[in-house]
Amino acid sequence: MRDMYSIWKAISLHAGQEFRTTTGLLFRYVVDSDRLKTDRTDYWIHRSQVKKALELWRSLGPAH
């Protein structure tokens, strides 16, 4: 699995692009240094929170 530096770099490269939630809602996000915010929320998500989420996802595996 890639390191957090590579993952955050990929997240940063895709900032501003359009994505869909699992329920089909459109969203975009911006990256500001070590945090990101989607246009569907009013709060910032710090890089450390993304790392914790990825660690949980890796241990549980992706949903099918």
Q: What pLDDT is recorded for position 15?
A: 98
Sequence letter at residue 38 = T
Q: What is the pLDDT along the chain (64 residues), one digit of tens a residue?
A: 478 899 999 999 999 999 999 999 999 999 999 999 999 999 999 999 999 988 887 666 666 5
The pTM assigned to this predicted structure is: 0.79
Separation CA 62–CA 64 (nearest Å): 6
Q: Quick one: three-class SS letters along the chain?
A: CCCHHHHHHHHHHCCCCCEECCCCCEECEEEECCEEEECCCCCCEEHHHHHHHHHHHHHHCCCC
Q: What pLDDT is recorded for position 61?
A: 60
Strands 19-20 and 26-27: antiparallel
Q: What pLDDT is recorded for position 51?
A: 92
Q: What pLDDT is recorded for position 63?
A: 61
